[in-house]
Amino acid sequence: MLFSKKSKFPIGLDISDLSIKGVQLQKSRGEIKIQALNKQLLQPGIIESGIIVNEKDFLNSLNKLISKPKFGVFSTEEIVVCLPETKTFVKTIKIDNNPNNIKDLIESQIQKNFPFAIEEIYYDWQIVYQDKNFISVLIGAAPRSIVDQYTRLFSQANLSIQAFEIEGTAICRALLPEESPNFEQKVSKNYLIIDIGAKRTSIVIYANKSIATSVSLPISGEGTTEKIAKTLEIDKEQAEKAKIICGLDKQKAQGVIYDILSEKIDKLLDGLNNAINFFYSQHNDMGKIDEIIICGGGSNIKELDRKIAESTKIKANRANIFTNLSEHHDKFNKFLKEKHYAKDKDKTLYSEQTSIYAYATTIGLALRNIFLKDE
């Protein structure tokens, strides 16, 4: 969306408070494959709520990410960057189809629907539906201060920004077949996507081949880990391993982790159902949600998909982040598989999980220019 120039295969960069992830794709003979992939963890305090506080350490981490990938080789200085979700806004609005200048109409709607003055943001928009009575417009906006800081720092790193995008747009492009230029089915589905991150959870509702609304919830994987650590009097690293291994198994860790996770999941389900009800009340002409897709680093909790399906009465599945690629996740298991051990009384518990679900946004960013070129 915001500020775009075309490049063939730029690196998709997803930046959060705790990590930077990068993916570069390659397309040959109609097949889209991963050329390079990496993740660089950030020390606490480098980025806070999307704002880069320690610029020197951020630039050092960015250099490590690109110079020493886990898989492949990055071969470009061009990037597509995801703006921090907590600082961006995306919404589909309806405006009357009349002779007035559409840009003026959109600016008036931004002032009504976004918590910033028009002069404090950069924004972009596209028409997603139009008839003789009204126009549906997808609007994305971000504060100028954030965009300007990112632009300056990437320039210092000798990286050329081809586009800034909002997280929900990138996630949909990675996970939904409807976003591919090759989608040929006459009927598209409506989706609700849950992205469970370390710092917060995002909900994106996609209907009629466009984002209808997005919501951010103060529910995070890191917050759950901190509560487990405090309750069991263990460090955060041990608590993270215990969370992954025990999950929603009442028999492990005397049910302590089950109780903590259940409390967090109940809050997630409340937020989820509120978002669904809001969507139905505001967009009753768009139809029902057909499927819920779960992604993000916190989506590995065992039985989470079942819990969500039972609560919402909607089919729920973990994401396939290779939906619009020409390869399978097995190829990347050795690069992305994590092994975890934890003690439970006199037993050693063990679990393996993949971090692949955390790369949805990054792949969506890397797909951007490939898909635009194909359109």
pLDDT digits (tens, 9 = 90+) for 304-339: 899 999 999 999 999 999 999 998 877 887 777 665
**Amino acid at the residue 83:** L
Alpha-carbon span 355 to 337, nearest angstrom: 6
Alpha-carbon span 23 to 144, nearest angstrom: 26
Q: Which residue has the tokens 């998709």?
A: 12
pLDDT tens across 60-82, in order?
A: 999 999 999 999 999 999 999 99
Total domain count, the chain: 1
Alpha-carbon span 368 to 361, nearest angstrom: 11
Query: What are 125's strand-pairing partners?
Result: 139
Q: Which residue has the tokens 């009927």?
A: 187
Listed residue (3, 171, 175, 177) closest to 79, CA to CA: 3
Listed residue (336, 339, 366) closest to 352, CA to CA: 339
Is residue 235 one of the residues assigned to a domain? yes
Is residue 103 one of the residues assigned to a domain? no
- What confidence score (pLDDT) does residue 346 get? 59
pLDDT tens across 122-181, in order?
A: 988 888 777 788 888 888 888 899 999 999 999 999 999 999 998 999 999 999 999 999
Alpha-carbon span 8 to 5, nearest angstrom: 10
Is residue 319 one of the residues assigned to a domain? yes
Alpha-carbon span 262 to 145, nearest angstrom: 38
Q: How confident is the model at residue 285 (pLDDT cuts 50, 70, 90)?
A: confident
Residue 5 has pLDDT above 90, yes or no: no
Whole-number average pLDDT of the chain: 86
Q: With contact defined as beta carbons under 8 Å apart, do 22 and 16 qualify? A: no
- What confidence score (pLDDT) does residue 351 get? 55
More confident residue, 243 or 278: 278
- HSE at residue 149, side-chain half, CA atoms within 13 A, is 16
Is residue 121 one of the residues assigned to a domain? no
Residue 292 has pLDDT above 70, yes or no: yes
More confident residue, 114 or 3: 114
Listed residue (72, 95, 56, 84) closest to 22, CA to CA: 72
Alpha-carbon span 321 to 295, nearest angstrom: 8
pLDDT tens across 121-138, in order?
A: 898 888 877 778 888 888
Is residue 224 one of the residues assigned to a domain? yes
Q: Provide the domain limits for residue 240.
A: 216-356
Is residue 327 one of the residues assigned to a domain? yes
Q: Which residues, in sequence order, are CB contacts of 104 under 8 Å at separation 6+? A: none
CATH code, 255: 3.30.420.40
- What confidence score (pLDDT) does residue 2 get? 46
Is residue 14 one of the residues assigned to a domain? no
Is residue 201 one of the residues assigned to a domain? no
More confident residue, 98 or 266: 266
- What confidence score (pLDDT) does residue 225 get? 84
Residue 4 has pLDDT above 60, yes or no: no
When computed from its CA atoms, the radius of gyration of the chain, rounded to whole angstroms, is: 21
Q: Pairing state of beta strands 78-83 and 11-15?
A: parallel
Query: What are 179's strand-pairing partners?
Result: none
Provide the terminal-to-terminal Cα distance of the chain, rounded to the nearest Å: 15
Task: Give the least confident one: 121-125, 217-221, 266-270.
Answer: 217-221
Name the token pair of 227. Answer: 């509560």
Alpha-carbon span 14 to 234, nearest angstrom: 31
Q: Which residues, in sequence order, are CB contacts of 71 under 8 Å at separation 6+? A: 34, 36, 37, 38, 332, 335
- What confidence score (pLDDT) does residue 270 get? 95
Task: Give the least confident one: 202-211, 276-285, 353-362.
Answer: 353-362
